[in-house]
Amino acid sequence: MRSGRVWLDLGRVADIAEVWVNGVNCGVAWTKPYRVEITKALRNGNNELRIGVTNTWANRLIGDHRLPEEKRVTWTNAPYRLDGNLVEAGLMGEVKIIY
């Protein structure tokens, strides 16, 4: 294994990402650069990477609004003001390891 610090660059994220390597929580990326240090979690050989991405409630509300009322998962007592277009969500760039 190389010496020095190792970073996982997530490219572009909408809206927030949490990174685990080998079961170790390496942190949250919510602003540019969407990057977390993974040095201490790495081991020789194979490593397991898990990235959890969360976006706003907009897509969930928009998706539910398109369903019949009895199949909806969410609800709100606020007036529905979303324009019906889904917003960007997820990892939207090249994910890479930086040494």
Q: Is the pLDDT of residue 63 over 70?
A: yes
Nearest in space to 38 (alpha carbons), one of 10, 67, 68: 10
Q: Taking the domains of the chain in order of start, what are their residue ranges?
A: 7-98
Rounded CA-CA distance 3/92 in Å is 29
Is 90 exceeded by the pLDDT of residue 83?
A: no
Is residue 71 scored above 70 in pLDDT? Answer: yes
Find the helix or strand (DSSP H, E) in which 19 lies: strand 16-21
Mean residue pLDDT of the chain comes to 91
